[in-house]
Every structure is written in C-alpha cells, then in structure tokens.
Amino acid sequence: MIYKLFRLDIMIILLIVLSIVSMFVGVVELSPGDLFDLTDNQKNIIMESRLPRTVAIIISGASLSVSGLIMQQLTRNKFVSPTTAGTMDWARLGILLALMFFPTASLLVKLIFASALSLLGTMLFMQIIQRVQFKDVVFVPLIGLMLGNVVASVATFLSLRTNSIQSLSSWLQGDFSIIISGRYEVLYISIPFLIIALYYANQFTIAGMGRDFSKNLGLNYQRVMNIGLLITAVITALVVVTVGMLPFLGLIIPNIISLFRGDHLKNTIFLTAVLGAVFVMICDILGRIIIFPYEISIGLMIGVIGSFIFLIMVFRRVRSNA
C-alpha cells in the first residue's frame, strides 16, 4: 500500500494541492473565494509574498533532494548529503567571506563565494573518503559532520572577530518568510543544473559502481565526478544564499525513494525532486500553523523532523548489520 503511494503522478497531485493550500495560509486572511474579487492589498500579498514563497519552496526542496541523491550515488553511501558532507557549512563560510570583503556586494557575488567554497569543501570531503577506507558506512557521514563542524567553528570565530555574528545567523537561518518578489529569483539558476543532472543520470549511476568498473565501460570517471560535485555545490549554495540552511533534506528524501523505488538514478530523480518539494511544503505549512499567527522557521522544522528520521535510518542500519 505504501509502495503505491510513491508514484510520480500521485506525488505531483499532492504537490499541487499543497501548493494551493500554501497560498492561503498566513497572517493576512485570504480564501479561495476571494480570488474572484481581490482587493489591492490581497493582490499584493499573493504576487509579492505567497506566490514567490510557494515557488521558492518547490525549487529548494526539489534541488536539495536531487543534490543529496547525486552525492549518495557518487559516494555509494546512503548517509551522505549536503548536510552530512559539510557542503552547507562551506557555503556559509563563503557567504561570510563575501560579507567581510564585499559588505555591499550583490546576492550574485555572495552566490559566487558560496559556490566556490561549497565546491572546494565537497571535493576535500571526497578526497578524504577515497583515501580512507571505512568498513562501516556510518563513519563516512561522521567524517563529513566533523569536517563541517570545524568549518562552522572557523566561520563563527571570523564572524565574532568582525562583529557580524548576528548578521550571519539571521542570514542563514532557514526561513521562507523572508522570501518576497525580487529576493528569490536567483533560485531559477538551479533549474539548468537539474536538467544537466537528468542528462548525466545514467553516467552518475555507472560512476557510483566504482572507478574501475566505470573505466571498463569507457566512462570518463573523473569528469562525471566533477560534474556531479559541481551540480551539488552550486545548488546547495543557491539554496543557502536565498533561503538559508535546510538540514537533512538531501539525506532523508533520497533514502525514502530508494527504499521503495530502487537506486537507479534516472528512474528516481523526478520522484525524488517532487517528494522533496512535498516534504518542504508540508514542513512549511506546519510551521505556519502550529503557533499561528507566529511562525516556526523552516530550518527548525526540517531539522527536528529530519534528525528524527536520520536516527531511525541509523538504528535501522545497525540492526541490519547485527
């Protein structure tokens, strides 16, 4: 029964329904019946806030979920994601450096810094896990988490020395309430990268089988790995710069899809993207409802639910190995 729910058509219908619900949840009262006789204020709320927020939720959820899927495929480890590999922490450091050296820089400059540091950090993480052979797959994300915490500590130290700790904290706290028209459009850059990911889906699947196997099939292993890391780094930086930190999203969604639909990337990439958007949409709606009219940030909602699911995955892995 649960297996049948994880179908692309059902997930798309659910996403459409949730998107419509999201448009009418908020402090400003708005109902479907008002659409036929909108006031100027209601029109402004929809076009400047509700619609951009809904679009940002869909793109962010889909993008980070696909990033996690690619990382898990390339590393052959189900516990790797932009969160557990430290990619988000490197993006945060990149934003801090941009704020330090170019305080008045545009969002694009911050994105360039965040993307560069994300790519650097992800490549460093890949080099570490390729050189150190772990018998237990759980140790791989632990290395990433430790590396990410070191980077986060450096970022915190620099922000304290430059009196920018509050600015950095408010900037990176995952929150869709800050999304308004003119503030989220940079997320559209992730769409071409998602298309590239779809184009290379089969090659990512082959690369995930190992360097020797890939080369025997005539695949340029290093080029495919670099493309996958670039896609992951840029998409992660885009989401962090625009929305903030969304922890565990790229970890749990690919694992849920893998559990019910297998590991072939090309067959699961669309479903992973849609389920990621659905998951973020549900968390966002709950965050707006639980303490209405106040709002729980999306970073906190996903962090709590995502960490709980992550612990279940870890315990499930331990039991299967026992």
Give the span between the Cα atoms of 233 and 237, in whole angstroms.
6
The terminus-to-terminus CA distance of the chain in angstroms comes to: 28
Opening angle at CA 164, ends 158 and 165, nearest 5: 80
Residue 319: pLDDT over 80: no
Q: Report the candidate in 77, 42, 129 with the shortest Cα–Cα distance to residue 255.
A: 77
State the pLDDT at residue 168.
64
Task: Give the residue-averaged pLDDT of 59-69.
Answer: 89
The structure tokens listed for 34 are 């008002």
Task: Give the residue-averaged pLDDT of 194-210.
Answer: 83
Out of 25-34, 59-68, 296-305, the most confident range is 59-68
Give me the amino acid identity at 216.
Answer: N
Do 122 and 232 form a contact (C-beta atoms < 8 A)?
yes
The structure tokens listed for 235 are 């998409």
Neighbours of 307 (CB within 10 A): 15
Q: Give phi and psi for 217, each to the nearest 5.
A: -90, 5
pLDDT-derived band of residue 165, with 50, 70 and 90 as boundaries?
A: low
Buried-exposed string 233-269: b where 16+ CB fall within 10 A, e elsewhere = bbbbbbbbbbbbbbbbbbbbbbbbbbeebebebeebb
Do 72 and 78 form a contact (C-beta atoms < 8 A)?
yes
Give the span between the Cα atoms of 319 and 322, in whole angstroms.
5
pTM value is 0.85
Can you tell me whether residue 217 is helix, strand or coil? coil
Give the span between the Cα atoms of 66 and 271, in whole angstroms.
10
Q: Report the candidate in 46, 25, 19, 2 with the shortest Cα–Cα distance to residue 278.
A: 19
CA distances from 200 to 76, 85, 231 (A): 17, 22, 11
Give me the amino acid identity at 236.
Answer: T
Task: Give the residue-averaged pLDDT of 255-260.
Answer: 81
Do 208 and 266 form a contact (C-beta atoms < 8 A)?
no
Lookup result for tokens 């780094």: 233
Residue 40: pLDDT over 80: no
pLDDT-derived band of residue 48, with 50, 70 and 90 as boundaries?
A: confident
Do 74 and 223 form a contact (C-beta atoms < 8 A)?
no
For the four alpha carbons of 183, 184, 188 and 193, in that order, the dihedral sign comes to positive
pLDDT-derived band of residue 167, with 50, 70 and 90 as boundaries?
A: low
Lookup result for tokens 């790519």: 119
Do 68 and 249 form a contact (C-beta atoms < 8 A)?
yes
Residue 285: pLDDT over 80: yes
CATH of region 2-321: 1.10.3470.10
Do 92 and 155 form a contact (C-beta atoms < 8 A)?
yes
**pLDDT digit string (tens) for 1-23?**
555 666 777 888 888 998 888 88
